Amino acid sequence: MRIRFIPSNETHELRQRVLRPAQTIAEMEWTFDRAEGSFHLGTEKDDELIAIASFLREPCEQLPGKLQYRLRGMAITAEHQGQGVGAALLRSGLEHLHQLKADLVWCNAREGALGFYGKKGFIAQGSAFIIEGIGLHHLMYRTL
């Protein structure tokens, strides 16, 4: 398995398949994907992309820190979940954020992924909220 930086358009297929099957590929391009400083990581196995995560230069007003990053679109293919792939990908992203001297990373965590982020040192802030068509989310963050 190999983790590498990928261009944002390479995330689209897995974003749609794992996270937003009801949406079109065209909708998989997100604000801040191409903002200066944003980066995307992918895990490859046998030349196939099996996991993605995007670290976007998108600030969150409710949280402190000058150099904030948003972790967005973290997705592991169904057959590779629960095998440490997400943990390894997140670890790589956090290492790079340290090199960039980022202060904080935040995400809107799906209810079903709260346990994963909690294990990785993220703290929930405020009450749960609904993102239409997807479900309950919590704002979570981790200082670096």
Ligand X SMILES: CC(C)(COP(=O)(O)OP(=O)(O)OC[C@H]1O[C@@H](n2cnc3c(N)ncnc32)[C@H](O)[C@@H]1OP(=O)(O)O)[C@@H](O)C(=O)NCCC(=O)NCCS
Residues near ligand X (CB under 6 A) are 18-19, 74-76, 81-87, 109-110, 112-113, 115-116, 119
Task: For residue 50, give every residue at least 6 positions away whose Cβ sits within 8 Å of its Cβ, in sequence order, or none.
Answer: 1, 43, 44, 76, 77, 80, 85
Q: Least CB distance from residue 55 to ligand X, whole Å?
A: 13
Residue from 59, 58, 87, 61 nearest 74 by CA: 87
- Which residue, 83 or 143, is less far from ligand X as judged by CB? 83
Length of the chain: 144
- Which residue, 14 or 102, is less far from ligand X as judged by CB? 14
- Which residue, 63 or 113, is less far from ligand X as judged by CB? 113
Q: Least CB distance from residue 100 to ligand X, whole Å?
A: 22
Q: Least CB distance from residue 140 to ligand X, whole Å?
A: 9
- Which residue, 55 or 116, is less far from ligand X as judged by CB? 116
CB 36 within 8 A of CB 57: yes
Q: Least CB distance from residue 9 to ligand X, whole Å?
A: 20
- Which residue, 37 or 82, is less far from ligand X as judged by CB? 82
Concatenate the DSSP letters of all residues of 69-117 into one string: EEEEEEEE-GGGTTSSHHHHHHHHHHHHHHHTT--EEEEEEEGGGHHHH
Q: Least CB distance from residue 72 to ligand X, whole Å?
A: 8
